[in-house]
Amino acid sequence: MLDIRALRDNGEAIRDALAKRGYSLDLDGFRALDGRRKEADIRSQDLQAQRKKASKQIGELIQSGLSVDEAKAKVAETLKTLDAQLDDEVARAKEIQDELRAFLMGVPNAPAEEVPPGADEDDNVEVRRWGTPRQFDFKPKDHVDVGEGLSEGRLDFERASKLSGARFAVMTGQLARLHRALIDFMLDQHTSEHGYQELYVPYLVGPEALAGTGQLPKFEEDLFKMRGERELYLIPTAEVPVTNLAADEILDAETMPRRYVCHTPCFRSEAGSHGKDTRGMIRQHQFEKVELVQLVRPGESEQALEALTGHAEAILQKLDLPYRLVTLCGGDLGFSAAKTYDLEVWLPSQQRYREISSCSNFRDYQARRMQARWRNPETGKPELVHTLNGSGLAVGRTLVAILENYQNEEGSVTVPEALRPYLRGKERLS
């Protein structure tokens, strides 16, 4: 959520920044609503002053010779009227405050100054590439054909569809084990090499957690909501429960920065994606991710984004998967992000790079929604933290990239060297 004081003081600048992402801020509507809130506050304060003055009259009347009961009776009607007016005004002020919060909750984060302009992913700016795409001496298959053709364990969409419908997958045997090996490898790298603390979190969260990270109220159609006694949702990413661990807390300065890594399944309805990536594992309702989350001091978040992105890149490099890094333009930026890097891995079957990780700096946008703060030792006062997250990596898409980049002409798949210790030295899936 944006800082309401910044909107009051620098509304035009924020409106112009939001225009970079194609969002039209109703600045006049905000100012009118904020003006109504201010008027309601003034009226409440005036009524409270009148009530205080009326209450003082009881003492004055007693001093003039009236009994206590006579004095109270004389001003009772005035106090009753003022109390009723004050109750009405407080209720009205709360309604306006709720309207104002709902307005602010619907406004996306302002892009960082360096975010390039643009309407969609076609306008994203490439920063660098790593690795050289493999030149095949045969026509490479896509991951579906490779996975379905394995004999030691295979990719099975037909039986997954029998269980759950489209956009689900079943993996068996050595392929399932390779998938698990990827998770273990990523967690080991991030905990032992990059200094993250591993977490295990619930896969069901309440609406407050989703509002804190920005999925609610705007993106409810993308979520799976549970039916039952409590209002709970399946998590779309570990970002939600992990970041919300700091909600309504004040962190000690000496415990920062906080770096967390967490593996979870992720559940997304993929609303609006009908017809997109219907074949295979690129866009699923259920998939696995190893998520990186950082909570840092405000002055450190830009540097932290570079470091976090580098940690995700290190996984791709150790798996020897060619990729490129792009900066998202304003029009492709996520709702809560101020700046995002996408890592896109090379897929031979598509002859193009596809997203495998998004690494974002949210600055204080999520922290304000969650009231996640730290105590600044220089001032002794609580201040909002800055939050960051990124996939390190999306496990299913990493498996897709391995199946395609490491496939052999006869249909087998070479196991990347970094993963062989996790498969008891196995070098190839037949």
> Binding site for ATP: residue ranges?
268-270, 355-358
Question: What per-residue confidence (pLDDT) applies to 277?
Answer: 85
125 within some domain: yes
**37 token code pair:** 């809130």
Whether 181 maps to a domain, the answer reads yes
Residue 293, both tokens? 């989350």
Q: Are residues 153 and 99 in the same domain?
A: no
- Assess whether 179 and 234 both reside in one domain: yes
Q: Please count the other Cβ atoms lying within 10 Å of the Cβ belonging to residue 314.
A: 15
Distance CA 273, CA 277 (A): 8
Q: Is residue 329 domain-resident?
A: yes
Instruction: Clarify whether residues 125 and 190 are in a common domain.
Output: yes
Nearest CA to 208 out of 365, 362, 337, 370 is that of: 370
Residues 401 and 261 in one domain: yes
Same domain, 314 and 257: yes
pLDDT of residue 82: 87
Per-residue pLDDT at 90: 87
Write down the catalytic residue from 37, 268, 363, 369. 268
The whole-number pLDDT of residue 48 equals 87
Q: For position 65, which CATH number holds?
A: 1.10.287
Q: How far is CA 420 from CA 143, 339, 354, in A?
A: 20, 36, 25
Q: Is 43 a catalytic residue?
A: no
Shared domain for 227 and 253, answered yes or no, is yes
Residues 58 and 84 reside in one and the same domain:
yes
The answer to whether residue 188 is domain-embedded is: yes
Stated pTM of the model: 0.93
Check whether residue 90 and residue 232 sit in a common domain. Answer: no
Choose, from 259, 313, 397, 404, the residue flagged as catalytic.
397
Whether residue 177 lies in the annotated active site: no
Which pair of structure tokens corresponds to residue 373? 């703060």
- Distant-in-sequence, close-in-space partners of 401: CB < 8 Å, separation ≥ 6: 319, 321, 345, 346, 347, 356
- Binding-site entries: 237-239, 268-270, 291, 355-358, 389, 391
User: Is residue 430 among the annotated active site residues?
Assistant: no
Question: Does residue 223 lie in a domain region?
Answer: yes
106, 135, 158 — which closes off a domain? 106
Alpha carbon 358 to its chain centroid, in Å, reads 10
Between the CA of residue 6 and those of 11, 64, 219, 400, what are the distances in Å? 7, 53, 25, 44
> Which tokens go with 29?
């509507």
Number of domains in the chain: 2
Domain boundary among 80, 106, 132: 106
Residues 148, 152, 249, 355: which is the catalytic one? 355
Position 301 scores a pLDDT of 98
User: Do residues 271 and 376 both lie within one domain?
Assistant: yes
Name residue, tokens 């977490």: 199
In this structure, the answer to whether residues 240 and 357 fall within a common structural domain is yes
Last residue of a domain, one of 106, 141, 171: 106
In a domain, 185, yes or no: yes
Catalytic status, residue 355: yes
Q: How many CA atoms lie within 13 A of 376 on its CB side?
A: 10
Catalytic annotation, pick one of 51, 129, 283, 354: 283
Mean pLDDT by 10 residues, the chain (430 residues): 97 97 97 95 90 82 75 78 88 93 97 97 98 97 97 94 96 97 98 98 98 96 95 98 98 97 96 81 97 98 98 98 98 98 98 98 98 97 98 98 98 98 96
Torsion sign, CA atoms 158, 162, 166, 168: negative
> 334 is written with which tokens?
């996520």
Q: Is 358 a catalytic residue?
A: yes
Give the residue numbers spanning the domain of 260. Answer: 121-429
